Amino acid sequence: MYDKEITEVLLYYQTNEKNGLEEEQVQTSRMKHGMNQITKNTKKTIFQMVIGQLKETMVLILLVALVISATLGEYIDAVVILLVIVINTVIGVFQEYKAEKAIEALEKMATPKALVIREGRHHEIAAEEVVCGDIVILENGRIVPCDMRLIKSVDLQIDESALSGESIPSHKNAEQVYATNTPLADRKNMAYMSSYVVSGRGIGVCVGVGMKSEIGRIAKMLNEAIEEQTPLQERLSRLGKWLGYVCVGICLLMLIVSLLQKREVLEMVLTAISLAVAAIPEGLSAVVSIVLALGVQRMSKRNAIVRKLVAVETLGCVSVICSDKTGTLTQNKMHVVSTYVDLAYQHTSPLLIQGLALCNDVYEEEENDYGDPTEVALVEYARSKGITKRDVENKFPRMAEIPFDSTRKRMCTVHKISNGKIIFVKGALEVLLPLCNRYLIEDKIYPLHIREKERILEDSQEAQQQAQRLIALAYKKDESTLPYEQDLVFIGFVGMIDPPREEAKEAVRICHEAGIEVVMITGDHPTTATAIAKQLAIIQEDSEVMRGVEIDGLTDQELRQRIHKYHVFARVSPNHKVRLVKAYKALGHVVAMSGDGVNDAPSLKYADIGIAMGKNGSDVTKSASDIVLSDDNFATITAAVEEGRNIYLNIQKAILFLLSCNIGEVITLFLAITFLPGYPIPLTPIQILWVNLVTDSFPSLALGMDPNQKGVMEQAPRKRNESLFGEFGWIYLVFNGLLIGTLSLVAYRYGLQYSITVAHTMTFMVLSISQLFHSLNLMNLHRSILQVGLFHNPYLLMTILLGVVIQFLVSEQSFLQTMLKTTSLTFSQWGIVFSLSLVVIIVNEISKWIAREEK
């Protein structure tokens, strides 16, 4: 469509710029061209997941054991091993399916939006709902939702590097028509899906959606999904392999020792295989994946939508939060509370109201106004004074404009009037005032000297000290060929209040308690920023504020040396934000950075965690971020950090549980074979596999779903390179592994006085039940179970009760007795089993008490 005139394109799609499509046309277009979605790689089917599970190392080892058992006529053992493989596969598939569905749901939450005109009204819709023929509005910071033939462009620049490879933004011109076969990068009248608006505005008609767009055609050729692991998952994979080698080595050592002791070869081979399967922590990666996925879902319920899983791990390490002011620390409910005209605080002036209504990019509708919150507030103020944007624009149509950007801190619009044109410039007071050489008093124009400028700036302090944000307005009639933004006539300014969020002060306090430094970074005036920061207890003194111009005067080294003296950075540019993030990171901090504008994207990329605003953030900022706040609220950042810390803690608990259980199983057999050479092996191969299946899998998942731990935000941030197991993790693992192994052997020796079957059964029960009880110790690594409460984690309690009931049935039910080579236990024998199993809780409670007393 780049080779067609605008009128031809509109006629082809039976649409027009003013009204767009009718609802019936939308449905017809969707039926014809499909949804605006890029088809991703086909999701794994259940069958593919099953095949994937059967290829796991653990399952392959079990299949070897199955073949050996069947070949030697041990059919009951073979059936049990087959059952273990089936159950393990079902659990693995369930975990994979659950994790995939959780991430799928999160992807839907982060869908970009598109602003379209339908039936004569503006609508903000999900980008995937755009259809061919839709009239789409492009604004600074928005991602282009589809392929579009532009029908209007105002200083429109679009970054098309993802498609063309050209790093310089493309300057668009809707009026141009190009020859057929013009290269994509040269089509200045087109905007393409997945590119984004760097500056300016535009309107276009959608001509390509989904897989029929340019990016869709590329996707057909490159549709290969790359599954990335988070650093934590990679560390666990390496740990799992290392532990696997160690365990296999121990198993081989036990096999050699057993052969030297002239034990039965077949039994020892099966025992070694079973122990290798039980000892290798194959479930670690699956547990971590599902804990991350479920944790991320929980974060989304608290309005923090995670785009990259790595952010969940990093959240627990955050030591500095760099927050934007407007809308994040404040309510983003701006309203005009003061006006300054005629060099005095007055009620208002007609020219000021008209200028505010004209010099903005708000789309005015009956129910909603679409646009920047500050500009929306100005339009609402004008409407309250009887002037609507629509009416005044019809009277004085816009002819040209210079869009706002965060570096210039102003915007300019040019409007047609009866005798020529009028220019309005709106922006920050200290930016606009130097551009003025005249001022207006009671409709008369006077020269503006330094004395008057100083008076205006001095008068403005009154409003700024009340946390008012000032927006100044100037104008001139086109009396010469001078640039639009020079020799202006100063009209006045309005003061706007955006009160702090009620919950923000408490969130700041929580951050301080958690050892997290809170820093406000804003483009606002220092006086306004200081007033808000003091209300939120971010700062106590004015001396804690630094201006952007002061940052310019410092070298990177000087900035690093001084940065901790300041907690408010005002009148900063995007470049300043990047320098601040780099300075904090150079000092060893883990930095979370929030932003909303397109120019915030670089600083979000540089930060350890980039946080975008979901309501008022640009699409570009969202795509550069790791987390999107659906409510634009600073308290949500604090909640996300808390959730991140808890998710990591839960993963740590699950790891500690699985590994201490694995070590316990290895130690039980290793000690028995090494120090009890004349006795049979205390556990049969089938019993080892059963313990691994029933005792290990479900409690580790339940621990991963542990509710938020109290006091987690009263601790200092975790060090980035901290061990997966915490400060004394390895000691904890070995200690509890030895404890579980020793208790199991005590049960074995006790049971031998009755029979070898009773001894096997009691060892089996103590090993299983002590591990189930041990999961209670891990609900909190520091506090007593009594302090935490048995009902703290209902999933874990249900898992333990179910596990104990299953173990009881294994001992008492005849079919299971035959299958697992167990026997019924007497009341006193059960008493010994539970007494020994409870020792795990008692010993851990004592060690926790000693640790607390020492602190």
Which residues participate in catalysis according to the annotation? 324
Q: How far apart are CA 679 and CA 749, in angstroms?
A: 10
CB atoms within 10 A of CB 792: 18
CB 717 within 8 A of CB 584: no
Q: What is the token pair recorded at 677?
A: 């050479």
User: What angle (nearest 5°) sits at the alpha carbon of residue 305, between those of residues 303 and 307?
Assistant: 170
Q: What is the token pair recorded at 346?
A: 């007055």
Q: What is the token pair recorded at 582?
A: 């780099």
Q: How would you classify the pairing of strands 436-441 and 488-497?
A: parallel
Q: How far apart are CA 423 and CA 483, in angstroms?
A: 10
- Burial-class residue 779 by CB neighbours within 10 Å (0-12, 13-18, 19+): buried
Helices 634-675 + 283-301 axis angle, to 10: 160
Question: What distances in angstroms separate CA 852 from CA 221, 393, 708, 784, 845, one per listed residue?
Answer: 60, 71, 21, 10, 11
* Region class of 789: left (phi > 0), else alpha (psi between -120 and 50), else beta: left
Identify which of 379, 377, 372, 421 has the alpha carbon closest to the alpha carbon of residue 400: 421
Q: How would you classify the pairing of strands 369-370 and 609-613?
A: unpaired
Helices 634-675 + 756-777 axis angle, to 10: 160
CA 73 from centre of chain:
54
Q: How far apart are CA 161 and CA 158, in angstroms?
A: 9
Identify which of 154, 153, 159 has the alpha carbon closest to the alpha carbon of residue 141: 159
Q: How far apart are CA 748 and CA 750, in angstroms?
A: 5
Identify which of 527, 453, 795, 545 has the alpha carbon closest to the alpha carbon of residue 654: 795
CB 162 within 8 A of CB 195: yes
Identify which of 546, 623, 813, 739 has the alpha carbon closest to the alpha carbon of residue 195: 623
Sign, CA torsion 274/809/91/699: negative
Rounded to 5 degrees, φ, ψ at 114 are -135, 140
- Burial-class residue 167 by CB neighbours within 10 Å (0-12, 13-18, 19+): exposed
Q: What is the token pair recorded at 687?
A: 């019993």
Sign, CA torsion 380/384/389/390: positive
